[in-house]
Amino acid sequence: MKYRTVAELVALARQHGKTIGEVVLEQEVQAGGRTREEVFSNMEKSLLVMEQAVEKGMNEVVLSAAG
């Protein structure tokens, strides 16, 4: 299921009785040649990195070069 716009994505989801997330996940599996489990594992790793970045940003004092 390929789509180019959000409108096409929404239409595909409705047409196939799926959520937008399911359509996107299927596209990722097909395009990347990976299993659903591999896609979710990669997403979990990315989420962990983002959470760590937020935690670091919230708890460390960072000064700009200008002061």
pLDDT by 10s per residue, the chain, length 67: 789 999 999 999 999 999 999 999 999 999 999 999 999 999 999 999 999 999 998 998 878 788 6
Q: What is the pLDDT of residue 5?
A: 96
Q: What is the pLDDT of residue 66?
A: 84
Q: What is the pLDDT of residue 51?
A: 97
- Burial letters 25-52, b for 16+ CB under 10 A, else e: bbebeeeeeeeeeebeeeeeeeeeeeee
23: number of Cβ within 10 Å: 21
Q: What is the pLDDT of residue 44?
A: 97
Q: What is the pLDDT of residue 67?
A: 60
